[in-house]
Amino acid sequence: METTIEVNHLCKAYGRVNAVNDICFSVRRGEIFGLLGANGAGKSTVIECILGTKKYHSGSVAILGMNPVTERKKVFEQVGVQFQEANYQDQIRVGELCEVTASLYKTHSDYRLLLSQFDLTDKIKSPVRELSGGQKQRLFIVLALIPAPEVIFFDELTTGLDPKARRDVWKSLSELKGKGMTILLSSHFMDEVEALCDRIMILKKGECIFCGTVEQAIVESPFDKFEDSYLWFSEGASYESI
Partner 1 sequence: MKAFKALVSAELKLSFRGVDMFIFAICMPIVVLVFIGMLYGDRAAFEGASYTFLEQSFGAVSTIAICAGGVMGLPLVIADYRHRKILKRFKVTPVSPTMILLVQVLVYALYSFVSLLSVYAVGALCFGFVLKGSWLHFIGAYLMVMLSMFSIGILVGGIAPNSKIAGVAASVLYFPMLILSGATLPYEIMPAALQKLANVLPLTQGIKLIKAASLGLSMEAVFSSILIMCLIAVFCSTVSILFFKWE
Under rule CB under 8 A, residue 131 binds partner 1: no
Helix or strand run (H / E) with residue 133: helix 133-145
Q: How far is the CB of 158 from partner 1 (least distance, A)?
A: 20
Binding-site size, partner 1 (CB under 8 A): 29
Under rule CB under 8 A, residue 157 binds partner 1: no
* Residue from 17, 39, 55, 90 binding partner 1 (CB under 8 A): 90
CA 193 to chain centre: 11
Of 79 and 193, nearer to partner 1 (C-beta) is 79
Contact 196, 30 (CB under 8 A): no
Q: How far is the CB of 72 from partner 1 (least distance, A)?
A: 7
Under rule CB under 8 A, residue 83 binds partner 1: yes
* Residue from 33, 88, 154, 226 binding partner 1 (CB under 8 A): 88
Under rule CB under 8 A, residue 113 binds partner 1: no
Sign of CA dihedral 74, 66, 15, 156: positive
* Residue from 72, 167, 188, 204 binding partner 1 (CB under 8 A): 72
Contact 63, 4 (CB under 8 A): yes
Under rule CB under 8 A, residue 104 binds partner 1: yes
Residues 21-60 that bind partner 1 (CB under 8 A): 51-53
Contact 5, 169 (CB under 8 A): no
CB-neighbour burial class of residue 20 (10 A; exposed 0-12, middle 13-18, buried 19+): buried
Cα–Cα distance list, 144 to 10, 77, 138 (Å): 25, 11, 10
Residues near partner 1 (CB under 8 A) are: 51-53, 72-74, 76-77, 79, 81, 83, 85-92, 96, 99-106, 147
